[in-house]
Structure formats: structure tokens, C-alpha cells
Amino acid sequence: MHFAEYLKAAFLERWNLLAFLAGAALGLISGHADVVLPLVAAGELSYIGLLATHPKFQKYVDARQAKAARAQVTEASQQTLDRIMRALPRKSLERFEALRTQCWELRQIAGQLRHPIVEGAEQPLEESQMAGLDRLLWIYLRLLYTHFALGRFLDRANERLIRQDIEALEKRIQDLPADQESGQAQRIRKTLEENLETCRARLANFTKARDNFQLVELQIDQLENKIRTLSEMAVNRQEQEFISNEVDHVATSMMETERTMNELQFATGLAAINEETPELLRTKATQTEQ
């Protein structure tokens, strides 16, 4: 962070502003503003200069700005989540809720294996495991939305008409006289060539969407099966760190899936998966407690 930003933060601190304004007001009503105000200004500059260079204050400002940045990222991810939940059809939402319930049960099993429940006491959900399961659920939910958006895109696009447009434009360009060099002729050729490039991009997008539609569906099934496998292995194996390690492994193995979704932004409109993961599992736990 630049030093000027620390100076600004020091000046805008609540108590500093109050002291500065009080000093300025006192100088104005004292009848000796020409003497008092320069002293107030000099004292203010000295104070904020010292405060802005103090390591603890700089750490405080850095932490505050980092918190604000995280809040913006969280808001962006929540907006994406709300958008997905509103758009998905009921069947997809039910599928997601079923998997979220399975994830929550998986975490409960892991907690019981790690710390057996005594006299019905509920075990807290550990942050590290919740974060890993949230990550899996977030990938899964975005996969569902990607599959839905691709299907909608393919329904609306018409490959045959796109190819017809490409052929018609190619023919028009070929039929243009090659010896015409007037400004109007050049503008016509350029417009036709740009239109042809756009149509070819549309065809490329359609082909990419069609090729990935089935792949995304298979990846949805794959992730569901991995979650089921984790649930079954959690019951049969007793290692304390097993669940956390396996969740991390599954999340890491989905990196290629995340890249696929990022490449399909033209159809889904979703931003790249670099935002904070929503707390999907904690929401499920809260609903269950209620």
C-alpha cells in the first residue's frame, strides 16, 4: 500500500477528525485565527505523519482494507449464488439439495468418528472440513447451472442457420469485384468480413457448447459419485484425518472441471471461479437445527 493511503487513513480516523475540527473551530472563534490555525495545521501534519508511519497502524489499515475486499468478494459470490438458485429448474434444485444433505451427513459422520458423541451432545462443524465440502458443493452447483445454461443456449441457437449465414457471406465476399478500390467498396468488404468473422465465432461457440454439454453432465454424475464414495468410506474407515484429506483430494481433482466452466462463460455468463465460496454447508446445518 502506498504511504499516501496511510496518510489518508490517519487523517480520516474519527478521533483525529474530531480533534482537528475542534482545533480549527477554536482558532476561528479565538480572534487569533492567523496564529492558531497554522499551529493546528502543523500539529495535524505532525500527528498524521507519525501515525501513518507506525507499523501497528499500517497493519490495522491493511487488515481493514483486506476485510473490505473480502466483503466485496463475498457479496459477489452471494449474488452469483442467488442468481443460480433463481434460474435453476426445480429438478436441478432438488438434486443439489439432496447432495447438500449428503455432504452434511458426511460431515456429521466424520465428527462422530473424530470425537464420539457423549450423551447426545452435538459436535461442532470444523471450519477446515466445512470449507472443503462447501467448495465441492459450489463446484457442483455451478456445474448444474452450466449444464442448464448450455442446454438453453443450444435450444436457442440454430447451427444450420449459422452455417447458411457463413456460406452466404463467403459467397458475397467472393462475388465482390477484386479491382474496386473506392472507399465505399472497401467499407462494404470490411463490413462483410467482420460479419463473417462474427458468424464463425458463433459457430465455434455452438460447437464448444455442444461438445461440452455431455461432458458437463458426466462431470455432475462424477462429483455425485465421489461424494457418495466419501460417505461410504467414512463409515468403514476410522482414520481421524481421512475425511479431510479425501475432501481436499476431490476438490483438487476438480480443477479441470473448473477450467471447463470458465471456458463456457459465453453461454453461462458466470464469472471465473476465483470468488469466495459461499457457506453452503453451514446454511444446511442451520436449517437442520431449526
- Average pLDDT over the chain reads 75
The pLDDT tens digits for 67-125 are 555 454 457 777 888 888 899 999 999 999 988 887 777 767 666 665 554 444 444 44
Does 58 fall in a domain? no
The DSSP 8-state label assigned to residue 88 in this structure reads: S
Q: Is the model more confident about 32 or about 229? A: 229
Instruction: Return d(Cα 169, Cα 202) in angstroms, integer.
Output: 14
Residue 218 in this model has a pLDDT that exceeds 80: yes
224 domain-assigned: yes
The pLDDT > 70 percentage for the chain reads 63
CA 19 to chain centre: 42
| Residues 81 and 125 both lie in one domain | yes
Task: State which residues form the domain around 27.
Answer: 3-53
> Which backbone phi and psi does 240 adopt, to 5 degrees?
-65, -40
Do 189 and 269 share a domain, yes or no?
yes
Q: Verify that 119 and 248 share a domain, yes or no.
A: yes
The count of domains in the chain is: 2
Considering the domain architecture, whether residues 28 and 135 belong to the same structural domain is answered as no
Helices first, then strands: H and E counts in the chain: 12, 0
pLDDT of 146-190, one tens digit each? 999 999 889 888 889 999 999 999 998 888 887 666 778 888 888
pTM above 0.85, yes or no: no
pLDDT at residue 124 in the model: 42
8 A C-beta contact, residue 98 and residue 141: no
Do 40 and 132 lie in one domain? The reply is no
Clarify whether residues 232 and 93 are in a common domain: yes
Overall average pLDDT of the 122-135 stretch: 61
What confidence score (pLDDT) does residue 177 get? 80
Does residue 204 sit within a domain? yes
> 140 and 32 in one domain?
no
134 occurs within a structural domain: yes
Residue that wins the pLDDT comparison between 290 and 252: 252
Whether residues 38 and 69 share a domain: the answer is no
